[in-house]
């Protein structure tokens, strides 16, 4: 709230009554702050009022003037001379007061300048500290952004690897399904061949050559089944490895997402710090 002339006059009166010289710095200190220009203007009117009061208090009629008015001639002239001399002396005293007041004003302005220079030095120091805080916050923000970009690249790479693993897993699953279908078909054929061999053996022992042929086919089928089983075993192993890789990639992706969320929270906190620093500067 702006200071009023009445407030400044009241504080000056308090200091004067307490025996403290009401300089601009003392008045400003008692007020708790304020513009030196406003205080100086108000103090000029305050000093003018006090000067008039002091001059009125100094004006006194000579004690013997009423008696000397009854006398004529030399006494009246001498009294007039005394009054003139007294007035001249008072005017000289007033001139000295004006000189002293001028010097007082100069001293007060010098004190005010010194106070303002001290406050300016403190404000400049605070500004330097705020600049240091802002520079540190900017450096931290740049580091956080670089880390965020790096994590984004790692996340994209992990997602790509996960997609490749998913594709390989799907392919292995299809191959396993095809192999199982072929194994079931071969098993069915083996069962059919075995049935045929049994039938031929029971019904016609003379067809030994056919039996031998069927046995050969059976052995071939068994060999094929054995190979298919080995292939199924290999595919199962690859399928398990792909599942393990998928689980590992899934865990890494979860960790990367967690790290990204932490970085986002840190970035939000950093933005709040920068905004606080900007508000302090404003």
- pLDDT tens digits in sequence order for the chain, 282 residues long: 578 999 999 999 999 999 999 999 999 999 999 899 999 999 999 999 888 766 665 555 556 555 665 666 566 556 655 665 566 467 667 657 766 876 887 787 678 778 878 888 887 888 788 778 868 868 886 886 888 888 788 868 878 887 887 787 788 788 878 878 887 887 888 788 888 867 867 776 776 788 788 889 989 989 998 998 999 899 889 989 988 888 898 988 898 899 999 999 999 999 999 899 888 887
Residue 5 confidence (pLDDT): 93
68 within domain boundaries? no
Residues 131 and 142 grouped into a single domain: no
Residue 13 confidence (pLDDT): 95
Residues 149 and 92 grouped into a single domain: no
Range of the domain at 88: 5-54+77-135
Residue 28 confidence (pLDDT): 94
Nearest-CA neighbor of 225 among 212, 172, 217?
217
Residues 41 and 97 grouped into a single domain: yes
Residue 38 confidence (pLDDT): 93
Both tokens of 19, joined, read 């025996």
106 within domain boundaries? yes
70 within domain boundaries? no
Residues 82 and 124 grouped into a single domain: yes
109 within domain boundaries? yes
Residues 86 and 142 grouped into a single domain: no
Residues 126 and 248 grouped into a single domain: no
Using H for helix, E for strand and C for coil, what is the string for the chain? CCCCHHHHHHHHHHHHHCCCCCCHHHHHHHHCCCCHHHHHHHHHHHHHHHHHHHHHHHCCCCCCHHHHCCCCCHHHHHHHHHHHHHHHHHHHHHHHHHHHHHHHHHHHHHHHHHHHHHHHHHHHHHHHHHHHHHHHHHHHHHHHHHHHHHHHHHHHHHHHHHHHHHHHHHHHHHHHHHHHHHHHHHHHHHHHHHHHHHHHHHHCCCCHHHHHHHHHHHHHHHHHHHHHHHHHHHHHHHHHHHHHHHHHHHHHHHHHHHHHHHHHHHHHHHHHHHHHHHHHHC
Residues 199 and 246 grouped into a single domain: yes
What separation in angstroms does the CA of 147 have from each of 135, 156, 232?
Answer: 18, 14, 45
How many domains does the chain divide into?
2
Residues 130 and 104 grouped into a single domain: yes
103 within domain boundaries? yes
| Cut 0.75: pTM above it | no
65 within domain boundaries? no
């Amino acid at each position: 709230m702006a200071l009023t002339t009445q407030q400044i006059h009241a504080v000056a009166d308090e200091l004067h009554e307490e025996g403290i010289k009401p300089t601009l710095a003392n008045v400003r200190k008692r007020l708790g702050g304020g513009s030196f220009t406003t205080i100086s203007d108000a103090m000029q009117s305050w000093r003018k009022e006090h000067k008039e009061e002091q001059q009125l208090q100094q004006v006194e009629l000579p004690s013997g003037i009423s008696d000397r008015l009854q006398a004529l001639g030399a006494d009246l002239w001498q009294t007039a001379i005394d009054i003139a001399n007294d007035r001249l002396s008072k005017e000289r005293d007033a001139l000295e007061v004006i000189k002293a007041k001028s010097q007082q004003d100069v001293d007060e302005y010098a004190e005010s300048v010194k106070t303002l220079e001290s406050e300016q030095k403190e404000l400049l120091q605070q500004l330097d500290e705020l600049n240091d805080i802002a520079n540190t916050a900017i450096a931290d923000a740049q580091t956080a952004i670089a880390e965020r970009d790096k994590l984004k690249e790692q996340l994209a790479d992990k997602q790509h690897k996960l997609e490749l693993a998913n594709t390989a897993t799907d392919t292995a699953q299809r191959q396993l399904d095809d192999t199982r279908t072929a194994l079931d078909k071969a098993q069915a054929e083996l069962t059919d061949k075995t049935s045929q061999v049994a039938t031929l053996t029971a019904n016609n022992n003379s067809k030994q050559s056919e039996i031998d042929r069927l046995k050969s086919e059976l052995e071939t089928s068994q060999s094929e089944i054995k190979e298919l089983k080995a292939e199924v075993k290999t595919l199962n192993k690859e399928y398990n490895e792909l599942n393990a890789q998928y689980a590992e990639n899934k865990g890494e992706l979860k960790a990367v997402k967690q790290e990204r969320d932490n970085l986002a929270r840190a970035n939000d906190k950093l933005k709040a710090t920068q905004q606080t620093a900007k508000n302090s500067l404003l």
